[in-house]
Chain A
Amino acid sequence: MTEQTNTAKSPVLDVKDLGVNFWVNDEWWMAAEDLNYTVNAGEVLAIVGESGSGKSQSSMSLLGLLPSNGRATGSAKMGGTELIGMPPEKMQQIRGNEISVIFQEPMTALNPVYTAGFQIVETLRVHLDVGPTEAKERALELMRLVEIPDPEERFHSFPHQLSGGQRQRIMIAQALACQPKLLIADEPTTALDVTVQAEILKLMRELKSKLDAGIILITHDMGVVADMADRMIVMKAGRVVESGNAEEIFYNPQHPYTKQLLEAVPHLGTAIEGEAFGADPAGVEDSAVVHETEASHGTADDVTTGGNDGGAHPPKSTLSPMVTEGGTDRVSGLAEAAEAAGESKHAHDIEMDSTETYYHPGSQADFSKPSALQLRDAAIEYPAIGRKKAFRAAHHINLMIAPGEVVGLVGESGSGKTTIGRAALGLLPTVEGDMVVNGKSIKGLSNKAMRPLRKEVGIVFQDPGSSLNPRLPVGESIGEPLYLHEGMKGPALSKRVEELLTAVELPTSMRNRYPHELSGGQRQRIGIARALTLRPKLLIADEPTSALDVSVQAKVLDLFEGLQQEYGFACLFISHDLAVIERIASRIAVMRHGYLVEIGKSSQVVANPVHPYTQRLLSAVPVPDPREQRKRREARDAVLEATANA
């Protein structure tokens, strides 16, 4: 173990030979073993690993919060007190007081029938001898500390009345209530949107310096680790494979697994020459300032002077937004710069809540050309069910996908990105405008009328577990479209199924297995095979990799790219992960609150976003590189400041 950093600081927790076992089917099943680490005050120790690596269970064992069939062995000392095997009565005084936990799902981790304020007050009053009034004062103070707007009002809100980010802030406030010495954050941002994640991480970083507590950060996201961690442990299948200083591991990983893991993480900005938006604080400021200046002036020439008028930024940046943001090395020609400047004229005064689509040059929908998918000013609704009113999830969408083109659709939860995918399949009705799939309008078609058209469209769903019928062998699932559309049966069908399995790099013997017998990655391969059975011209991929571990995700994306080239289908690739989209798509469309706000070539959008929301989104994505992430962090603060006024 290499521990050069923070030797001056005192260790809060000292873990030796910690192991966790579960009693399953009359035998002990190892979930983690031989864990050794220390956590120092004021330091973040990240425990990284993919699902099933035992990272979460080992940390829960510190608090005696294992399920009833689990047991912990070894030792974990906190200031001389042994935590493993501590009687429950004593443990209760440690929990929430000296060690507290932030859980992953803010949705379910708060009790739905009590107010947010009550749940914080409760923690305070269990451990400290304070009256209700004082406890309330302190709770409000804590809520201010975690930057909850209107704490007095939110104090009386029930969890379902708060947004995901606010709930997680309440969780944090509750965890900090008794000023614990150790904070265990178990995937604290995994369930949150990327912009909210950035805010929560920022908050945690600020708190870390204020509180001087040790933090154990459990996560699978290398970007988050790069953003937060001082030291890190990499776990695989219950064992530590590498540990040490975070930066060292990032830049000089030793263990092959760590290397593989780091390679597998998609890195925003790698597909373009130079850096993605948000990598350079100066650039961000400039682009932000351009908004202000362009608002008052109108032409590219004016930008130069306008920039000077603004006065808050160096003149070199004011040539045009496109040039300044990526650095001068990316100016490919005067013409492009001029074009960019020209377009910025009508674009750069976009407000945050603007619902109009900004088209980067070359991305305007031209409906006269042949296309795999066209949305013409389309609006899509979730139909009314019973007393529930119809809900319009997408408005005025103009989007076109050329044959053989991959377009990425990105947005946060509730942005309506999945809605568009489902509507393209005829699973949701297009109520206004028109939806044209492979040259035929599908607006208003019944399930029956849709059926012949379905041959030409395939879909890969997000959750490979639920998109395959659990009661059918996977071979049957793959073959079903062939059976239904071409009436293929018997040996011909099995031959095709086997071909498809080979195409997705699975052994043909898997056709007789049931979905639950396959791993997540294997299931998603089956999902892809099924979507490609009829050689569709258009494929909708709805977050196909977001349920997978990063290394599996990397493999699936490789496979996907290979198949796309081989089969030549057009694809609408829906994801919340910009880095994945950037890697796979040639164009990117950004959605917010049901509107398409920006669309352009991947390089254009990633390096030169125009809509303030896209800028926020891009700057919020953490990259798996501590130094670069530090720069991006500063840049992000600048974006927030700028877009807050926009």
Chain B
Amino acid sequence: MSTNNDNQNALASDDVGDNAIEAKETEGLSQGKIVFRKFLRHKGAMISIGVFAFVALFAFSSVGFGPIPGWWIYNHTASGPIVNAGGAPTWSFSNFFSLGDHPFGQDEIGRDNFARVMKGTQISIIVMIIIGLVCLVIGTIVGAVAGYYRGWIDSLLMRITDGFIILPVIVIGSILGKMVGGANGPLLGLALGAILWTGLARLVRGDFMSLREREFVDSARVAGASDFRIMFKHMLPNAMGVIIVNTTLVMSQAIVLEAALSYLGFGIQAPGISLGQLISEYQTSFATRPWLFWWPGLFIIVIALCVNFIGDGLRDAFDPRMKTIPSWRKMKKAERMTQKEAK
């Protein structure tokens, strides 16, 4: 028996060759670690995480959050004397580099634009995260149930998602926003989350449908697992990729949607504050005080771009077909080296 065993080991080691290239790459790592490592290699996503963390840290620490005070001297409501003509930004390069009192400028009644943009960023990020969480919960549950049980439950749930998809989100969003919006960010987030989950639900459903055909689901059932255990212990971890990636992408959509609704006047409205609301408030002053318009817009773009890139990095990391991006330069260089050696 022992020789048999040795033999088996010898053979086993070369039937690792069963696509040895992949085996080589994944040796000794759990699935989670592989995904994490691939994610770390995605430059765009790494830079985006850094930038996003920086923006979020700045937004929450500068003007303070809730009872916690921030380090910035102004807040978003108090108006002060207008420093530069028209409230123009005070930062300058004249003396190497100086920020001045109001680096992002002031509005027509002397409120500090930096404090306002930071506060707006705070609210926008909170709304974005609430939307993401709501989508995550509803989308996953609906998708999992529809994909697992199929039949009439699936038909019913999918018709419901059709109902949301048939109209642009901004239309349903405006109606819900008009009901719950005003100054309340979190409530708006809940409402928008309740309409943005449909895409995630469809994808999770598709994933569950194909996972359901996998043999490990049958083998769990044969082992005596209940439906609930099969769905949440066996299938859900395998669908995590789709869920995480798409929740991220929904969040990038969410921040732009929130801004658009606030701009149209159906989202957050003064005295509430958010990035979209700031643009809406200052759109007419674009010709006279462009900084009031540029800064909130810039922050929307930076946040959405970061979240998009993080989502892209996650997608690449979770996609099993996606091999590590080969470094062409290194490959060509190595080729030249070996050719030289041959000579």
Contact = CB atoms under 8 A, between A and B. Distances in A.
A and B touch in the complex (CB under 8 A): yes
A52 B14 CA distance: 8
B215 A484 contact: no
Contacts of A25: 24-25, 324
A467 B221 contact: no
Nearest to B339: A73
A382 to B, nearest CB: 12
Interface string A364-389: 00000000000000000000011000
Contacts of A468: 216, 219
Contact of A469 (B7, B28, B221, B234): B234
Interface string A469-500: 11110000100110011000000000000000
Does more than half of chain B's interface fall in helix, strand or loop, or is it mixed? helix
Contacts of B26: 516-517
Contact of A505 (B5, B25, B219, B226): B5
Given A51-B17, A467-B215, A551 B31 contact: no
A68 B328 CA distance: 10
Given A29-B21, A69-B331, A516-B26, A459 B214 contact: no
Interface string B319-342: 000001011001100110010000
B12 A454 contact: no
Max count, chain B CB within 10 A of own CB: residue among A514, A520, A549: A514
Contacts of B154: 386
Interface in B204-228: 214-216, 218-227
A421 to B, nearest CB: 10
Contacts of A485: 224
B331 A23 contact: yes
B227 to A, nearest CB: 7
B235 to A, nearest CB: 9
B334 A28 contact: yes
A53 B229 CA distance: 41
Contact of A514 (B1, B4, B31, B225): B31
B94 interface: no
B155 interface: yes
A103 B29 CA distance: 34
Given A514-B31, A551-B11, A24 B221 contact: no
Contact of B31 (A52, A451, A471, A555): A471
Contacts of B30: 514
B57 interface: no
Residues of A in contact with B, size category: 35 or more
B8 interface: yes
Contacts of B301: none
A346 B21 CA distance: 58
A530 B219 contact: yes
B15 A454 contact: no
Contact of B4 (A236, A461, A555): A555
A521 interface: yes
B154 to A, nearest CB: 7
Interface in B134-180: 150-151, 154-155
Contact of A459 (B29, B150, B219, B237): B219
Contacts of A422: 218
Contacts of A26: 327, 330
A462 interface: yes
A385 B225 contact: no
Interface in B1-51: 1, 4-5, 7-8, 11-21, 24-31
A469 B216 contact: yes
A185 interface: no
Nearest to B239: A471
A463 interface: yes
B284 interface: no
A454 B218 CA distance: 12
Interface residues of B, number: 53
A427 B222 contact: yes
A558 interface: yes
Contacts of A458: 222
B238 interface: yes
A382 B265 CA distance: 54
A324 B150 CA distance: 56
Given A23-B331, A26-B327, A558-B4, A236 B14 contact: yes
Nearest to A50: B15
B15 A521 contact: yes
Contacts of A427: 218, 221-222
Interface in A591-637: none
A31 to B, nearest CB: 8
A190 to B, nearest CB: 15
B222 A466 contact: no
Contacts of B13: 519
Contacts of B15: 50-52, 519-521, 548-549, 552
A455 B216 CA distance: 17
A483 B160 CA distance: 38
Contacts of A300: none
Contacts of B19: 51-52
A27 interface: yes
A22 interface: yes
B243 to A, nearest CB: 13
Contacts of A451: 224, 226
Contacts of A24: 21, 24-25, 324, 326
Contacts of A22: 21
B219 A237 contact: no
A522 interface: yes
Contacts of B234: 469, 472
Nearest to A482: B223
A252 interface: no
Contacts of B151: 385-386
Task: Identify the 10 closest CB pairs spanning chains A and B, nearest first.
Answer: A52-B17, A467-B215, A471-B237, A481-B223, A461-B215, A484-B224, A23-B331, A469-B216, A519-B12, A519-B15
Given A469-B216, A470-B238, 5 more contacts: A24-B21, A385-B150, A448-B226, A505-B8, A527-B219
Interface of B: 1, 4-5, 7-8, 11-21, 24-31, 150-151, 154-155, 214-216, 218-227, 229, 234, 237-238, 324, 326-327, 330-331, 334-335, 338
30 contacts: A25-B24, A26-B327, A27-B334, A28-B334, A28-B338, A52-B18, A386-B150, A386-B155, A422-B218, A427-B218, A427-B222, A447-B226, A448-B226, A466-B216, A467-B215, A467-B219, A468-B219, A471-B31, A471-B237, A480-B220, A481-B224, A517-B26, A517-B28, A519-B13, A521-B15, A551-B11, A552-B11, A552-B12, A555-B4, A555-B8
